[in-house]
Amino acid sequence: MKYVLLRDDDTNALTPPACLERLYRPFLDRNLPVNLAAIPCVNTSATLPGGRLEGFLMARRPGLPERLPLAAGRELLDYLAANPGYGLLHHGYAHDYLEFDSPRRVELAQRLEDGATCFDRAGLPRPATFVGPYDQISRTAYRELARRFRIVSTGWFELRRLPFSWWPRYAARKLARRRHWTAGGLWLLSHPGCLLSYQRPVEGMLERIQAAIAASPLTVLVTHWWEYFAGGQPNEPFIAVLHQLAEWLASAPDLQVISFAGLAAHPPALPQTPFGAF
């Protein structure tokens, strides 16, 4: 049996529920869990390094406060409550650029505590999984994450960013050529790149995803809901691939789509390295 985790990044108080519904109804109808990496208190002016507004702010309107907590997204919260097939992950704090690539422990701890409070005030359970914005997490941040979460999901791991006590497990993971591993009480999950992205050609996209899943006992598939609506219009060929993926995942007899919450509570039996990582 192979396991798949579908992770959609950047849900926030401004996310139109209609976008999520358009994308994920085929998954929900097939009882395939969808994991939304939610920004606790989104920066409503967040920009990329070049100054371009972040795509997840596509529904931004004039007069908004600088920070908007999840509790302000009433329509989104009602939609999530009506669709329990969604699970939530803790995605940074405001999604400021490289906000968790910092050595300042007190500042990082405050962001995490404030983020958890945002979930509380929105009436949402505190997630057991953390997703770092831009896949950049400092050594100090990893230590703080290990105090609060069961899982960290990111793109890659760099030795220079990890706590020194984790280095032997990291070495064992590299020798065993495992994508995922454990250290500091955390499950540390990487992914094979954003295979579901508008920056990739739709031709052959499903086949590339299938190949990635076949190559690993557990695969994290990462996508971003706003990419399917870049420019204000639905990207129909891209959406079609996502829906084909849902059909294939539901019909494949040797695959199981799971939630991050389920993984944290009941880890499946997976291949082990000598250090207990998988």
> What pLDDT is attached to residue 265?
86
Q: Note whether 102 and 137 are within 8 A (CB).
A: no
70-128 per-position pLDDT tens digit: 999 999 999 999 999 999 999 999 999 999 999 999 999 999 999 999 999 999 999 99
> What pLDDT is attached to residue 276?
43
Length of the chain in terms of residues written: 278
Find the range with the poorest average confidence among 46-55, 73-82, 199-208, 256-265: 46-55
Question: What is the third-level CATH fold of 2-265?
Answer: TIM Barrel (3.20.20)
Find the range with the poorest average confidence among 6-10, 171-175, 205-209: 171-175
Sequence letter at residue 193: G
Indicate the pLDDT class of residue 277, thresholds 50, 70 and 90. Answer: very low
Percent of residues, the chain, with pLDDT higher than 90: 89
Q: Give domain limits for the chain.
A: 2-265
> What pLDDT is attached to residue 273?
43
d(CA 78, CA 84): 11
> What pLDDT is attached to residue 232?
87
Average pLDDT over residues 239-250: 98
Q: Which long-range contacts (CB under 8 A, 24 or more apart) does 115-120 make?
A: 115/40, 115/41, 115/90, 116/40, 116/90, 116/148, 118/40, 118/41, 118/69, 118/70, 118/71, 119/38, 119/40, 119/70, 119/88, 119/90
> What pLDDT is attached to residue 248?
98
d(CA 233, CA 240): 14
Rounded to two decimals, what is the model's pTM?
0.94
d(CA 28, CA 90): 21
Average pLDDT over residues 165-171: 96
d(CA 72, CA 42): 10
d(CA 192, CA 175): 18
13-57 per-position pLDDT tens digit: 999 999 999 999 999 999 999 999 999 999 999 998 888 999 999
> What pLDDT is attached to residue 270?
59
Residue 269 in this model has a pLDDT that exceeds 70: no
Average pLDDT over residues 185-211: 96
For 220-254, the DSSP string reads EEEEEGGGGGGGGS--HHHHHHHHHHHHHHHH-TT
